[in-house]
Amino acid sequence: MTTITKLFFGITVLIGAAFLFSGCSATTTDKEPDLIGWIDNVQQVQGKSQGQLLVNSPDNKTSDKFIVTVTDKTVIRKQVSGEQQKVGFDSLNTGQKVEVWFSGPVMESYPAQVSADTIVIREDSQPTIMPPLDGGVKGILMEVTCEEFTENPHVTRDIEITFPGSLVVSLCSNRTTGFQWEEVKISDESVIHLTEYNYVSPEAAGVVGAAGKEVWSFNSNSRGTSTLIFEYSRPWEGGEQDEWIFALTVFVE
């Protein structure tokens, strides 16, 4: 083999290697995400790095809610200072803004169901900020879990929101026990009023038999202070009353 032939062969190999390396380094996140939304619920399989997410995507044209299955092959990354770092399932939390790339087709159901190839937790995620509610204003999330009520059945908290502004209250609820939250009591409806109520079943979050959630949305009417009282009871005559109580004082600034 002549010197020129050897040189040409070497250049060809280098060019081929460059193309091969470029192709191997391409990632799913080089494409536009299939879904952008906020995590409403996280259910992890005990002892494993997998589970399911209930993602709220109000601007999505196909469905506004998705059950996203996270498998052992799902890559989870978090944006930190403009760079993406690989993280585990434990880094996924309610309220985070995420970008999701699908690994397969979307099942036609409600919520829509799909498996994730890659999930990126956005750097601008704020666990206490919900997507725009009525009127395009953002809502502050106040959530109390079953574990918190088990430790203390009478929970009292304060929160400050803006005027105009919105508030979302999410409370653990297991209707298989016969308990449910009674109608919320609002001390001053001139300050804040209820706009929407929803029950999120454990099936919607992808885990049968687990506790669900009851979710209330409120809008502020004026600046001031109002107290919201939530009571968790068995509603029938003779049933246990006020098993759990959640008192939330809302300061509207």
Six-digit token string for 15: 């060019």
Q: Is 176 helix (H, G, I), strand (E, B) or coil?
A: helix
Q: Is 91 helix (H, G, I), strand (E, B) or coil?
A: helix
Please give the Cα distance from 171 to 246 (Å, whole number). Answer: 9
- Segment 128-182, tens digit of pLDDT: 444 444 444 346 889 898 888 988 999 999 998 888 888 999 999 887 788 889 9
pLDDT value of position 128: 41
**Interstrand relation of 51-56 and 65-70 (parallel, antiparallel or unpaired):** antiparallel
Kindly give, in sequence order, each residue whose CB lies less than 8 Å from that of residue 143, ignoring residues fewer than 6 positions away. Answer: 94, 169, 170, 171
Q: Cα 108 vs. chain centroid, distance in angstroms?
A: 21
Residue 50 near residue 44, CB atoms below 8 Å: yes
Please give the Cα distance from 19 to 176 (Å, whole number). Answer: 58
Domain annotation for the chain: domains and CATH numbers: 32-121 (2.40.50.140), 129-252 (2.60.40.2020)
Please give the Cα distance from 139 to 168 (Å, whole number). Answer: 6
pTM: 0.47
Please give the Cα distance from 74 to 118 (Å, whole number). Answer: 5
Tell me the percentage of the chain whose pLDDT exceeds 70. 77
Query: Where residue 120 falls among pLDDT bands split at 50, 70, 90?
Result: very high
Most confident of 29-38, 58-67, 82-91, 187-196: 187-196
> pLDDT at residue 210 above 90?
no
Handedness of CA 30, 123, 93, 171 (dihedral sign): negative
- For residue 17, the cross-strand partners are none
Q: Is 154 helix (H, G, I), strand (E, B) or coil?
A: strand
Say whether the peptide bond before residue 132 is cis (omega within 30 degrees of 0).
no
Helix locations, the chain, DSSP H: 3-25, 146-151
Task: Identify the helix (H) or strand (E) that includes residue 141.
Answer: strand 139-144
> pLDDT at residue 213 above 70?
yes
- Between 30 and 25, residue with greater pLDDT: 30
- Segment 26-50, tens digit of pLDDT: 455 678 999 998 887 788 777 777 8
Residue 80 near residue 122, CB atoms below 8 Å: no
